[in-house]
Amino acid sequence: MFKHHSALGLATALRPVQPVTLLRPHAARRAARFFVEKFPGRSLYAVKANPSPDLIKLLWDSGITHYDVASIAEVRMVAAAVPDATLCFMHPVKAEEAIAEAYFTHNVRTFSLDTMDELQKILRATGHAADLNLCVRLRVSSDHSKLSLASKFGAEAHEVKELLFAARQAADALGICFHVGSQAMTPAAYAEAMERVRAAIVEAAVTVDIVDVGGGFPSVYPGMEPPPLETYFDVIHKAFESLPISYSAELWCEPGRALCAEYASVLVRVEKRRGDELYINDGAYGALFDAAHVGWRFPVKLVRAHGSDARDVAFSFYGPTCDDLDHMAGPFLLPADVAAGDYIEIGMLGAYGCAMRTGFNGFGSDLRTIVEDEPMASLYGAGEERPAATNVVTL
| DSSP string computed for 336-363 | TT--TT-EEEE---TTTTTTS---GGG-
pLDDT value at residue 389: 39
pLDDT value at residue 1: 61
Under a CB-based contact definition with an 8 Å cutoff, are residues 334 and 300 in contact?
yes
Ranges of CATH 2.40.37.10 domains, the chain: 2-23+261-393
Ranges of CATH 3.20.20.10 domains, the chain: 51-255
pLDDT value at residue 145: 86
Q: Which helix (H) or strand (E) holds 116?
A: helix 116-125
d(CA 195, CA 302): 46
CA angle 73, 215, 86 (to 5 degrees): 45
Burial 220-257 (b: 16+ CB within 10 A, else e): bbbeeebeebeebbebbeebbeebebeeebbbbbbbbb
Q: Which helix (H) or strand (E) holds 59?
A: helix 53-61
pTM over 0.75: yes
d(CA 4, CA 328): 28
d(CA 134, CA 214): 15
Q: Which helix (H) or strand (E) holds 68?
A: strand 66-69
For the chain, list residues with pLDDT below 50. 383-395
Q: 51-255: which CATH number, 3.40.50.10540, 3.40.50.150, 3.20.20.10, 3.30.9.10?
A: 3.20.20.10
List the beta bridge partners of residue 265: 22
- Whether domain 2-23+261-393 has CATH 2.40.37.10: yes
Phi-psi region of 97 (alpha: psi -120 to 50; beta: other; left: phi over 0): alpha
Under a CB-based contact definition with an 8 Å cutoff, are residues 98 and 121 in contact?
no
d(CA 64, CA 43): 7
pLDDT digits (tens, 9 = 90+) for 241-273: 999 998 899 999 999 999 999 999 999 999 999
Largest CA distance in the chain: 69
